[in-house]
């Protein structure tokens, strides 16, 4: 199967998508689109592409025989770009989030079903080899049935641009990664959330850049999230720091290479023993697939060619979006929010 791709949005992130397309033998980039045409021209020249550039996706579709759109625009444009592409019978692979509101995300989801067009969402952080190794170890019951999953995320990046002007920069633009990873780790979907969102002194974000969330998952696991994008010093990994509690032990991942479990030894406790005897067990990374954007795009293309839904298809990713917008609704109303299908209920 050959794929003819229009790349929409030619900012810095688009380089990863373009590089991927160039390396893949059955993909051809047929057009570059950006509302600032000079960005498209720079992208074309930087990658030595012999393709037309456009300010409008409509014009690009009309003048090429494209089959697939890469949506690498800013979040505010995702709904419009993906919707236009699917109405013109093109499949879409796009950067997260699906949209800037839950209503818009559901609108895109419904359009994908109506048009019978694929819309898969980039969730590159679930393709880290360590989180895949962790998932595999949990599936094999290394620490027994899991009851609680905790994630901490504390960094202080100075992005400038749209992120620092967003109303909910941490939850919408970053926490979705951790929420999506939690769904992977828990092998479950959310049913409720309570969130307190706030800004700390000295924050350079217009919107709330810190949050604490408690999620209940449909298999009984409780997932907690503590995060800040205006935290100075003592930063965590971009992947967050994780603690997973099971009936037989605890798994820890610092978001980088440190990945292990402390597991209770299977033996009779001696009289007077106060704490269980623990064995320290390293957890191996899963290197069976590529990581990051490449790993996620590999899965997207493989699914499209096999006629199945990708792991991050919009029908699944909407549940990560529910975690995001449920958390925002909870923070605004000061109440627990129930996450039922594609609806948010107080």
Terminal CA-CA length for the chain = 46
pLDDT computed for residue 161 by the predictor: 87
pLDDT computed for residue 188 by the predictor: 96
Distance of alpha carbon 59 from the chain centroid: 30
Q: Which whole number is the average pLDDT over 292-305?
A: 98
CATH of 3-117, picked from 3.30.470.30, 1.20.1250.20, 3.40.50.720, 3.30.230.70, is 3.40.50.720
pLDDT computed for residue 329 by the predictor: 96
Longest dimension (CA), the chain: 80
264, 248 Cβ separation under 8 angstroms: yes
pLDDT tier at 66, thresholds 50, 70, 90: very high
pLDDT at 271 over 70: no
pLDDT at 269 over 90: no
- Tens digits of residue pLDDT in 13-28: 999 999 999 999 999 9
Phi, psi values for residue 195, rounded to 5° = -135, 140
pLDDT computed for residue 341 by the predictor: 62
CA separation for the pair 21, 93 (Å, rounded): 12
- Tens digits of residue pLDDT in 163-187: 899 899 999 889 999 999 999 999 9
Could you please report the per-residue DSSP string of 212-259?
A: EEEEEETTS-EEEEEEESS--SS---TT-EEEEEESSEEEEE-SSS-E
Q: Which whole number is the average pLDDT over 297-310?
A: 98
Q: To the nearest whole percent, how much of the chain has pLDDT over 70? A: 97
pLDDT tier at 80, thresholds 50, 70, 90: very high
pLDDT at 249 over 60: yes
Domain chopping of the chain, boundaries: 3-117, 126-288+322-340
Regarding beta strands 337-340 and 210-217, do their DSSP bridges make them parallel or antiparallel, or are they unpaired? unpaired
Distance of alpha carbon 80 from the chain centroid: 20
Structure pTM?
A: 0.92
Q: Which whole number is the average pLDDT over 221-239?
A: 97
What is the enclosing helix (H) or strand (E) of 180? helix 176-186
pLDDT computed for residue 274 by the predictor: 65
* Three-state DSSP state, 194: strand
The class of domain 126-288+322-340 in CATH terms is alpha beta
pLDDT computed for residue 292 by the predictor: 96
pLDDT computed for residue 272 by the predictor: 59
184, 126 Cβ separation under 8 angstroms: yes
- Tens digits of residue pLDDT in 116-139: 999 999 999 999 999 999 999 999
pLDDT computed for residue 140 by the predictor: 97
pLDDT at 343 over 80: no
pLDDT computed for residue 266 by the predictor: 72
* Three-state DSSP state, 82: helix
Output the average pLDDT for the chain: 95
- Of 91, 80, 87, nearest to 118 by C-alpha is 91
173, 124 Cβ separation under 8 angstroms: no
pLDDT tier at 49, thresholds 50, 70, 90: very high
């Amino acid at each position: 199967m050959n794929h003819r791709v229009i790349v929409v949005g030619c900012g810095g992130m688009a380089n990863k998508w373009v590089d991927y397309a160039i390396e893949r033998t059955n993909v051809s980039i047929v057009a570059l689109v950006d509302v600032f045409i000079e960005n498209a021209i720079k992208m074309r020249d930087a990658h030595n592409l012999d393709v037309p550039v456009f300010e409008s996706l409509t014009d690009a579709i009309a003048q090429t025989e494209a089959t697939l759109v890469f949506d690498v625009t800013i979040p505010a444009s995702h709904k419009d770009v993906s919707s236009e592409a699917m109405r013109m019978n093109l499949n879409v692979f796009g950067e997260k989030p699906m949209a800037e509101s839950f209503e818009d995300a559901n609108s895109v989801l419904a359009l994908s079903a109506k048009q019978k067009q694929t819309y898969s969402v980039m969730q590159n952080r679930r393709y880290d080899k360590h989180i895949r190794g962790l998932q595999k170890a949990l599936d094999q019951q290394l620490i027994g049935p899991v009851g609680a999953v905790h994630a901490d995320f504390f960094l202080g990046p100075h992005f400038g641009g749209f992120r620092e002007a967003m109303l909910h920069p941490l939850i919408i633009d970053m926490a979705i990664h951790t929420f999506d990873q939690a769904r992977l780790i828990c092998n479950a979907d959310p049913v409720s959330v309570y969130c307190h969102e706030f800004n700390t002194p000295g924050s350079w974000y217009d919107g709330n850049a810190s949050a604490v969330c408690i999620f209940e998952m449909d298999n009984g696991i409780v997932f907690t999230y503590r995060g800040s994008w205006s935290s100075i010093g003592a930063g965590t990994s971009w992947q967050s720091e994780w603690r997973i509690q099971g009936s037989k032990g605890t798994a820890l991942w610092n978001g980088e290479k440190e990945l292990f479990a402390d597991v209770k030894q299977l033996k009779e406790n001696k009289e007077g023993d106060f704490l269980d005897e623990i064995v320290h067990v390293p957890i191996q990374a899963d290197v069976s697939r590529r990581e990051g954007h490449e790993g996620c795009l590999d899965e997207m293309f493989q699914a499209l060619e096999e006629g199945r839904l990708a792991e991050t298809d919009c029908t699944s990713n909407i549940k990560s979006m529910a975690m995001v917008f449920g958390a925002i609704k909870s923070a605004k109303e000061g109440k627990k929010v129930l996450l039922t299908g594609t609806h948010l209920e107080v």
